[in-house]
Structure 1
Amino acid sequence: MTDYTSYEVRRGGAEQSCFDRCVLTYEDRFLRRKVIRTEAGKSLLIDLEATTSLDQGDALVAGDAGLIEVIAAPEPLLQITGENLTQLAWHIGNRHTPCQIEEGRLLIQSDPVIGHMLEHLGAKLTEVSEPFLPEGGAYGHGRTHSHEHGHTAHDHHH
């Protein structure tokens, strides 16, 4: 028996008051139907119409109970620094690897093959543990298993 059920995600809903939080890794934030535990130890059944990428700051609507905030959990990542971050980011993007792009560094999930390739290109790699918030996370771009090619309301013309 679950304590709460959520059928709806509220984008940026964490700006309102939430009564509980759930801390999820990048992989765990990509879901459709799943039972998770909240920080208060409650069980929450997430049951969404479509597979959805949750972002830090989103909230799950738990029926009449209110909102549960989505927090990105710290996880093992590779921090990439080096002379030419733009080139390094291109190589990462070329392999459809999710990447968090910041001033002065890139973050990717630990991947020995890509790490090795980046070292060959002169990158300095450091293992870190922090929340992973890659580019385009909010709308699922860069999620390799969500190839939607239909015409949607926010169709991007390249």
Structure 2
Amino acid sequence: MSAPALTARRVADHGHDAGAPTVSLDYEARFLRRKVLPLDDGRSVLVDLSQTTSLNHGDVLICEDGTEVRVAAAAEPLLAVTGDLVRLAWHIGNRHTPCQVEAERLLIRRDHVMRDMLGRLGATVEEVTAPFRPEGGAYGHGRTHGHDHSHAHGPEGHNHAHPHSHSHD
């Protein structure tokens, strides 16, 4: 990829240019601070944000020259979960697993441990490929994380002590 023609240092939750170029990113790739990304029009953009940011489907990168770049959720391997959705969502959430909630199904990233657990709970689990747009965190944060914590949590860190009384098994 050649040197990026664009540099984006800001993110907005909406844009004004209906014809803006798009960057399609899977869930993991939408968590970034600094990276060169290919655009659908063949150009590239250097994203250089002041802090690691969770980008959502529909967000807009604002480039230094005023160009807007729309962020789209790319299709990726997921598990579609059906059954008693309220009960299943509780178990998925109890494991801090990102989950896209729809009227007829739940979508989570493919994971054999979760698949086995959900099957034991009576869920029907099907492999699908689709854009993944999970719910954001309940406290205004863009992401919830599982216990692998493979991402930096910024200067405030992440207190993983669990003073509450639920199990993570």
Q: TM-score, normalized by length of structure 1? A: 0.86
- Tell me, yes or no, if structure 1 residue 63 matches structure 2 residue 64: yes
**Any gaps of 5 or more consecutive residues in structure 1?**
151-158
Cα distance in 1 for partners of 2:152, 2:102 equals 24
Q: Work out the CA distance in 2 between the residues paired with 1:103 and 1:16.
A: 31
Q: Which 4+ residue blocks in structure 1 deviate beyond 6 angstroms?
A: none
Q: Which residue of 1 aligns with 2:93?
A: 93
Name the CA distance, whole Å, in 1 between partners of 2:33 and 2:153: 15
Match of 1:110 in 2: 110
Q: Of Structure 1 and Structure 2, which has the larger fraction of its residues in strand? A: 1
Match of 2:6 in 1: 4
* Matched residue type, 1:96: H
2:125 corresponds to: 125
CA offsets 1:43-97 (integer angstroms, 9 cap, x no match): 1110001111111111101221510111110111000001x21111111111111
What is the Cα deviation at residue 148 of structure 1?
Answer: 7.0
Cα separation, 2, equivalents of 1:81 and 1:101: 11
Q: What is the aligned partner in structure 1 of residue 143 from structure 2?
A: 141
| Corresponding residue for residue 48 of structure 1 | 49
1:136: Cα distance to partner? 0.8
Check 1:74–1:63 CA distance in 2 against 1; reply closer, same or farther (3 A cut): same
Q: In structure 1, what is the Cα distance between the partners aligned to 2:33 and 2:19?
A: 21
| The 10-residue stretch of structure 1 (95-104 or 132-141) with the greater mean CA deviation from structure 2 | 132-141
Q: Which has the higher helix share?
A: 1
Aligned residue pairs total: 148
TM normalised by structure 2 equals 0.80
* CA contact 2:52–2:154 (8 Å) conserved in 1: no
Q: CA deviation at 1:113?
A: 0.3
Secondary structure of residue in 2 paired with 1:7: strand
